[in-house]
Amino acid sequence: MKSLDTSLQYLKGIGPKRAAVFKDAGISTLEDLLYFFPRRYEDRRNVLPISKVKEGEAVVLKAKILAKRFKQSWYRSRFSILELIVGDDTGKIPVVWFNQPYLKDYFKVGSSIILYGKVRRHDLYLQMVSPEFEIADEKEDESLDVGKIVPVYPVIEGVSQRYLRRLINSVLKQCLPFIKDTLPFDIRQRQKLLNLAKSLIGIHFPDNLDLQKDAYRRLAFEEFFLFIIPIVLRKLKKRKKAGLVHSLQGDLVRKFEASLPFQLTNAQRRVIEEIKQDMARASAMQRLLQGDVGSGKTIVATYAAIIAIQSGYQVAFMAPTEILAKQHYEKISSQFALVSPELKKIKIGLLSSSLKQKEKAAIVQNIKNGKINLVIGTHALLEEAVQFKNLGLVIIDEQHKFGVAQRALLPQKGNNPDTLIMTATPIPRTLAITLYGDLDISIINELPPGRKPIATFWVKEGQRKKIYKFIQEKVGEGRQVYIVYPIIRESLVLDLKAAEDMYKEFKKNVFKDFRLGLVHGQMNEEGQDKTMSEFKNGKIDILISTTVLEVGIDVPGATVMVIEHAERFGLSQLHQLRGRIGRGSEESFCMLVSNPVTEEAKARIEVMTKTCDGFRIAEEDLKLRGPGEFFGDRQHGLSELRIANPLTQMQLLRIARNEAMKLTQADPQLKNRQNQGIKEALRKKFPGYEELEIVG
């Protein structure tokens, strides 16, 4: 064996065919195998005699298969029962599996078997139902399977747990001389962390639970640490590059603030001060603005835009959809039109893919020659033809709708301009600091005065008539309504109500006396825009939609939302949808129609009925879905975390971040001898790592 990078297929007994099976599970090298961690453990230190088993207890039994019986139901084709009678010197117990006919040839009478599971009562006797099992050949060494804390790994098709344990144990013994510690000794000593070799032994084959905990902590720390270093280096690199200095004093800012028809909240004022300090510095602002739906992020972004324009620079404001870009354009234009002549002189442009070629060319030309001070647009702003005369500020709204690479393109159109990234998907602060470590973070955690919480109800499927009556009453009072569906049209696979089909049904029957509209993602942008504009202008009473509304427009008259099959949506998605109502001063109502089957789906619905706090909802969503799904792997590489959990190990994450910052500030190029292991690990984990190194 040459190194940890040795291919698995060169191990004795593996070969190309079995190596391909492991590769499908993400295991190609010996190192991959060592980092294939158990998903849980079974405490098999106490093998119980059958005579001592009790109802309701989870037990480990080692017994012989005494008899086997398989029954296939004659009236239910897919129903089968496999029953074993197993026994030891103290007694016998039946073991049952339902609907697993393939097992009938796996068990042989006379074989030894290890069983792990709960004991249940059936009529007058005890039995085990669908326990985990392993065939235990008494001639083999059983030290890895019985009398120990036993690792249970994620399932690899065609590979038994018993074989996997023996393989990992063998590789671990062979590889110990090649295992070099990544973390410097001083960090390990300061944070009381095990060395790497002991951690790998302790995570796979712990002698006790304390060793397993220590091994888990060490390996999780290292993952966090290596994850954070490139982010911190990116921030250092950005700060080293000279930025633009903006002037905070001037008539435009003063007159804009004086013209506002409402008082800014304390949270908005705090965030504006943070942005002003950034924009006055010589290094470029890199700030993430988090704020719940309706918290007033746009007015803060407009304030920043006026500072940049006042200082003689152009501003680019990018939104993920044409509807949202147009809303920002209309809102900011109307604010400027109401105030002083100076603000009216600010030239605002709207750039989107749906513009006619002639209009688009004119706007692009006016951006290039500097006649447009503020351009608001979609990803059309990223096109090569769009060039700025003097770009000083980039604002990106709903950043999670853009890939990381897309977000980086717009600032490249200027000379290191300031960047303000906005999101209405709140993230717990420690996690946000880690994921967006190259950004400073501002939070608007206060809603404007007069906003009422949205009353949210869980409604069972059978109560639709009551919902429809409620909608009719509200529309009769002059209110507008959203009805949201998870799919566009009826599916042969999914038993779900669909937007297009229900729109036709409503027009014909239930809501035939009202004005209805339909909007979904397969409509062209022009069609979506037209329908949404009609709804906004009060020409549509009830809008039937899919999740295209998730990032949508403000309609103060819309006070009712019905979300059908609510269990099909993630928590943050439900919260974003709900944020489309409650934009005015009238009381608003959200009804979640659902008959959830899983506990997770029930938990999501219950959270929505209890709180309108986006930060709390985000935390619950993270707990339920896990970070990979919540953020999307393409956005963040959280899928790289094999063992660390940013939700349950927030304190460890904080410690790892502090250590990463301390190390990169002292040695940004990782030249010191003790940091060579980190450098090597980063090269392997992040192929583009060298680009982040700080020069000089």
Question: In the prediction, which pLDDT does 552 show?
Answer: 61
Q: Pairing state of beta strands 516-519 and 542-545?
A: parallel
Segment 340-379, tens digit of pLDDT? 666 777 899 999 887 888 999 999 999 999 999 999 998 8
116 beta partners = 60, 132
CA–CA gap between residue 284 and residue 418 (Å, rounded): 5
Question: In the prediction, which pLDDT does 393 show?
Answer: 95
Question: In the prediction, which pLDDT does 635 show?
Answer: 42
Kindly report the backbone phi and psi dihedral angles of residue 255, in degrees, each rounded to the nearest multiple of 5, phi listed first: -70, -35
Is the model's pLDDT at 405 over the cut of 70?
A: no
Percentage of residues in the chain having pLDDT higher than 90: 34
SS (H, E, C) 24-37: HCCCCEHHHHHCCC
- Position with higher pLDDT, 158 vs 186: 186
Residue with tokens 């109800």: 457
Reported confidence tier of residue 499, pLDDT bands at 50, 70, 90: confident
Which among 561, 567, 557, 556 is positioned nearest to 544, based on CA atoms? 561
Vertex 222 angle, CA 217 and 226, to 5° = 150
**Mean pLDDT across the chain:** 84
Is the model's pLDDT at 673 over the cut of 70?
A: yes
**CA dihedral over 345, 351, 357, 362, signed as positive or negative:** positive
- Position with higher pLDDT, 70 vs 685: 70
Question: In the prediction, which pLDDT does 542 show?
Answer: 94
Q: Stretch 294-314: mean pLDDT, rounded?
A: 91
Contact call for residues 395 and 317 (beta carbons, < 8 A): yes
Question: In the prediction, which pLDDT does 630 show?
Answer: 47
Exposure string over 250-278, b if 16+ CB within 10 A, otherwise e: eebbeebeeeeeeebbebbebbbebbbeb
Question: In the prediction, which pLDDT does 163 show?
Answer: 87
Q: Stretch 191-215: mean pLDDT, rounded?
A: 94
Question: In the prediction, which pLDDT does 637 show?
Answer: 47
- Position with higher pLDDT, 199 vs 576: 199
SS3 label, residue 643: coil
Contact call for residues 416 and 282 (beta carbons, < 8 A): no
Which among 297, 531, 280 is positioned nearest to 397, based on CA atoms? 297
Superfamily of domain 46-147: Nucleic acid-binding proteins (2.40.50.140)
CA–CA gap between residue 251 and residue 237 (Å, rounded): 34
User: CA–CA distance from 311 to each of 82, 158, 306 (Å)?
Assistant: 79, 66, 8
Which among 88, 209, 197, 198 is positioned nearest to 150, based on CA atoms? 209
Is the model's pLDDT at 564 over the cut of 50?
A: yes
Q: Pairing state of beta strands 348-351 and 391-396?
A: unpaired
Which among 379, 326, 332, 359 is positioned nearest to 530, based on CA atoms? 326
CA–CA gap between residue 672 and residue 504 (Å, rounded): 70
For residue 95, what are its two tokens? Answer: 């073991």
Is the model's pLDDT at 628 over the cut of 60?
A: no
Reported confidence tier of residue 267, pLDDT bands at 50, 70, 90: very high
CA–CA gap between residue 694 and residue 238 (Å, rounded): 10
Segment 439-465, tens digit of pLDDT? 788 888 887 777 778 899 999 888 888
Q: Stretch 94-109: mean pLDDT, rounded?
A: 89
Contacts of 296 (CB under 8 A, 6+ apart): 264, 265, 268, 444, 447, 448
All CATH 3.40.50.300 domain ranges of the chain, comma separated, are: 251-280+296-423, 455-611
All CATH 2.40.50.140 domain ranges of the chain, comma separated, are: 46-147
Exposure string over 84-122, b if 16+ CB within 10 A, otherwise e: bbbebeeeebbbbbeeeeeeeeebeeeebbbbbbebeee
422 beta partners = 289
CA–CA gap between residue 404 and residue 399 (Å, rounded): 9
> Is CATH 3.40.50.300 the right assignment for the domain spanning 251-280+296-423?
yes
Segment 217-250, tens digit of pLDDT? 999 999 999 988 888 887 777 777 777 888 887 7
DSSP per-residue codes, 103-149: GGGT--TT-EEEEEEEEEEETTEEEEES-EEEE--TTS--TTTSSSE
Which among 412, 410, 407, 409 is positioned nearest to 422, based on CA atoms? 407
Percentage of residues in the chain having pLDDT higher than 70: 88
Question: In the prediction, which pLDDT does 453 show?
Answer: 81
Is the model's pLDDT at 203 over the cut of 90?
A: yes
Question: In the prediction, which pLDDT does 636 show?
Answer: 46
Reported confidence tier of residue 600, pLDDT bands at 50, 70, 90: confident
Least confident of 136-145, 382-391, 481-490: 136-145
Assign a CATH topology to domain 455-611.
Rossmann fold (3.40.50)
SS (H, E, C) 461-525: HHHHHHHHHHHHHHHHCCCEEEEECCECCCCCCCCCCEHHHHHHHHHHCCCCCCCEEEECCCCCH
Residue with tokens 């003063």: 254
SS3 label, residue 5: coil
The helix or strand, by DSSP H or E, that contains position 394, with its residue range, turns out to be: strand 391-396
Q: Please state at what angle helix 599-610 crosses helix 614-625, rounded to 10 degrees.
A: 170
CA–CA gap between residue 156 and residue 235 (Å, rounded): 40
State the number of CA atoms in the 13 A half-sphere of 248 facing the CB.
10
